[in-house]
Amino acid sequence: MKKTVLFIFGLIFAGSVAAQDTISLSLPQAITIALSENPTIKIADKEIKRVEYSKKEKYGALLPNVSLGLSYARSLKKQKMFFSIPGMPANPDGIEVGQDNTFNGSTNGLMATLPLFAPALWQSINMSELDMELALESARSSKIALVNQVSKAYYAILMAQDSYNVLKRTYENSTENNRIVQNKFKQGVVSEFESIRAEVQLRNVGANLSAAENGVELTRLQLKMLMGVEMDQEIKVEGSLADYENKMYSDVLKIDTSTLADNSDLKQFDIKSRQLNQSVKLQRASWMPTLSASFNYNYMSVANDDILFTGDQRWFPASNVGIVLSIPLFQGGQRYFKDKQLQIQVDELKDQKLNLKRSLELQAMSYINNIEKAMKQIESNKVALSQAEKAMTISQKRYEVGAGTYLDVANAELAYQQSGLAYNQAIYDYLSAKTDLEKLLGNK
């Protein structure tokens, strides 16, 4: 891990200080850098951290809830008391009661509440555990998808480079053929039409070569974007598609296609199903009573203006402890019908999971068929490429000594070009299908 981090830092430093320096990358190195620098992975890691904080927030509901406040009240008009007792003089004007000022340590004083029996709260905490599990699986899914994208982008560069080499070889051969034709035309051996045809053939191959060179650069930019490195950083991928042909049989044998247990979509679906079942438990827990303990402490003072903030002002405390029991009785059937809705959703998920599993199995079979088809095409195209290359060399020599026609040369060049491109495409199709199958099976 330490070597990997140093490598990544070295790449970033090279990009900022000497962007013209080219960095040679293998596929494992490209994947390692992408998993460290790609913004998608960073977002997934931050989402895990957010869910972790959410989980801690829900655990905080098990701790006492303590609040403290201050209040002050000024009497604008005091309340009056009136007496009407037999044998005592009446007081029609009444007697004012109360003080001008009231100070209180809080509207509720120092108050603490602690849940003792709260089934809904406990089920909510269990739900947060599933939220964390889903966030982790979602992050794993993002990494698997990124590995798939980086791998295919890397293979695309190899295909673009190998196709460029095929066209380059064709261009070199066309250049030599054009030289031979022009020499023969100057000697009057061939017609002007054949000279023009050779020149057009050379220019067409040259245009294809330029397009292939541009394709190589575009695929490199795609890989750099996925890796999360600067676009002006020059990179070079190692190897060629033919390197993967030599080990394709052993690679295929290593893939376990017998199970979809590690498929991320299925795992996320299972977690969401458990979340829905947990929602049913949470909903039913709201039907149950809740019990909580409370503590209240007040410290207050009342005083008229003439003794406010003097030694005669008195402060006195008041406190109490208690237990609160809340029993839900009737809410118009809302909880009952909510439970029925959740039960229907649970049944729907069962059918959706079955449909998803069948769809994934179909995709797996399709990828396996594509792999088998590509492997057969690789073997066939490899032989065709070898024969086409040999035919191109023979046709060129025959034409040079006057034993063949330029049409034979052009056809041989075209056959070589098509065979080379088809060979590269078959290897890329194999690698692409294998990478997609590994993603489907949940392999990184």
> Using an 8 Å Cβ cutoff, are 173 and 413 in contact?
yes
Say yes or no: 218 and 165 in one domain.
yes
For residue range 134-151, what is the model confidence (pLDDT) as tens digits?
999 999 999 999 999 999
Look at residue 121 in the predicted model and tell me its pLDDT: 80
Which domain CATH number covers 301? 2.20.200
112 and 123 inside one domain:
no
244/275 same-domain check: yes
Q: Same structural domain for residues 159 and 180?
A: yes
Q: Is 57 exposed, middle or buried (0-12, 13-18, 19+ CB in 10 A)?
A: exposed
DSSP 306: G
Least trusted range by pLDDT, from 232-241, 368-377, 384-393 = 232-241
Residues 86 and 171 in one domain: no
Q: Is position 101 within any domain?
A: yes
| 300 and 343 within one domain | no
- Alpha carbons 306 and 312: distance in angstroms, whole number: 10
- Residues present in the chain in total: 444
Q: Number of structural domains, the chain?
A: 2
Specify the higher pLDDT residue, 322 or 39.
39
For 199-234, the pLDDT digits (tens) are: 898 899 999 999 999 999 999 999 999 998 888 888
Q: pLDDT band at residue 339, thresholds of 50, 70 and 90?
A: confident
Residue 16 has pLDDT above 50, yes or no: no
Same domain, yes or no, for 344 and 258? Answer: yes
Structural domain containing residue 185 = 2-9+17-37+118-288+333-440
Q: Structure tokens of 185?
A: 């035309």
As beta bridge partners, residue 67 has: 111
Pairing of strands 290-303, 101-104: antiparallel
Within this chain, do residues 273 and 134 fall inside the same structural domain, yes or no?
Answer: yes
Query: Do residues 240 and 377 both lie within one domain?
Result: yes
Residue that has been written with the tokens 């050379």 in this structure: 202
42 assigned to some structural domain: no
- Cα 177 to Cα 200, 316, 365, distances in angstroms: 12, 111, 47
